[in-house]
A and B are shown apart, each in its own frame.
Chain A
Amino acid sequence: MKIAVCVKRVPDTEARIKVAGDGKSIEESGVKFVLNPFDEYAVEESLKLKEQAGGGEIVVISLGTDANQETMRTALAMGADRGILLKTDVAAPDTLAVAKALAAELKEGEYDVVLFGKLAVDDGTHAVGAMVAELMDLPCVSSISKLEVADGKGTAEREIEGGVEIVEFALPAVLTTEKGLNEPRYPALRGIMMAKKKPLETKEVSVEVSGVEVTGLAHPSERQEGRILGEGPDAVPALIDALKNEAKVL
């Protein structure tokens, strides 16, 4: 089974994000960058699929600058076989432009399964996987929390409001992964050592510049610090009164 896992380099979720001097980007110095948390589920699922199939190849693909190599090595350390960096200098390209560049590469690879994290925790667009599927005319199930694949077919579950959708599909397919699908393994020391020697190819790609323009980034307005109404159960009547008569939400 040949599997592609598309990954993104993002700021750690615990990082404090500061708007840079230009007012249109973020200050990157001092920010720790990691493999997008949702992509970890995609990498883990690819390893499970390969183990289940009794063989195959897992290719990690990422779009961005040379800095992405470190992120890709994390996936290689978890067990992926090789990497392809689609190198571009376009900062924060539009989702459709990213999808087009990835789809062009993925078409070459003839993959049985293409995996993405359901969203990247930086821009949170939740879009690229489904766009790639549309551009490649492949079936796609997004935000999967359970997956079974056998005999060229699959069944996936995806969480919806107050329930779970059961979706059946044929391979090749694009799948995007939700938390809960699996427990991503930690790279072992041996894996980290081996990852340094795994092939990581760089391809220059041109990415369209979209018509969407970021005109400004700002920090959300600080919430006014509220008040402590008291200690213990005795403070409850004051809370009920405030919610009913002041905030008018009860």
Chain B
Amino acid sequence: MSLHIAGTGWVTPLGSGIDAVWQRILDGDRAEVSQISDPLGTESYPLYRVPATALQHLPPHPRLRRASGISRFAAAAGLAALAEAKLSPNDIDPDKIALVFAVANGGVIYTKRFYSDIVATGAEAASPLLFPETVFNAAASHLAAIIGLSGTTYTVVGDGSVGLTGLKVGEDLMSDPNLDHCLIVAAEEADWLLCDAYAKWRLLRSVGPLEVFGKTAQGTILSEGAGAVLLSRTGSVAIAASSGGGHFKARHEAASALSRVLKKVGSRDDAIIVSSANGTFVDAAEATALQQVSPNGLLYSPKVALGEGVGAAGLWQIIIGALALRHQTLPVPQYPRAQNPLPNDAISLEGRDEVTVLSCGLGQQIGAARLSRSQH
């Protein structure tokens, strides 16, 4: 069974539109760091936000009237992926497309609002309008309704590697010959509560910008948005191998788990790697694993430009891998070890047919995928 990426879409802190954001990444642009504070203003955290202009082309829909940011990001990315494949919701046979929605923290903004009313006032203040939006699969339900899908819809949950889990679940679903497509969408919305939690988890850096592969792990910076990939039977980039939902028990075991998953997907010693380095323990774990499996690889870490998109991050990496193959170009690489001088420009991948995407989340999960240029 050969599966291909037939469409991509994203909403990121660098904006939306596949080509526009890709060009900014190639230009070495980084999203702007903003600050977000708790309601009392006692704590402030750096954050990469999606600019308001990124959603200007999202068509109105009754399901999105009260929906939170995560649902809007997901809808915009999902519809963009369908559009790139020249499919509109009206053209789709609702029984022949599945939806896999990957999410990490879910609708954190409405969840916080709902529970804060309970804490502040009591259960009698709980809003019946907010509660349904706190459920993990609320955003998937909205997107399914917008597309008019009537068959399989799965919401899969996990950490920053959950996009890779979603890809694997999508691959498993596509073994059903009755399916033509599987739309995989991954999304995240940011909030001060999330930043506070990651800070108390000692994984957040106090000031921007985000840096990776430093001598010491300074922490990450959260971001928000969505990515979408349409899996089909044909397309310009094939999923040569994928693995999602792998796990490790403790952080010191992350490197060996990453080595295993790199070998599992067949990463070459000189692979082109799209990494998940984010300024935390992940960097050292990836560096060790890559040294073992792909020591002569070239590596790009998109979180330097886009921040740690958690639920959205894995699919952003997949999209960047697909774009690198499509355009035969890798954005300015980073190196997990001393290697100077660093190139200042994107480099040509002329003649290279494969990219490996590696993802290590902060919640003990990992995933990887090997993408290849396809003949279609």
Q: Do A and B come from one complex?
A: no
**Which residues of A approach B to under 8 Å, CB–CB?**
none
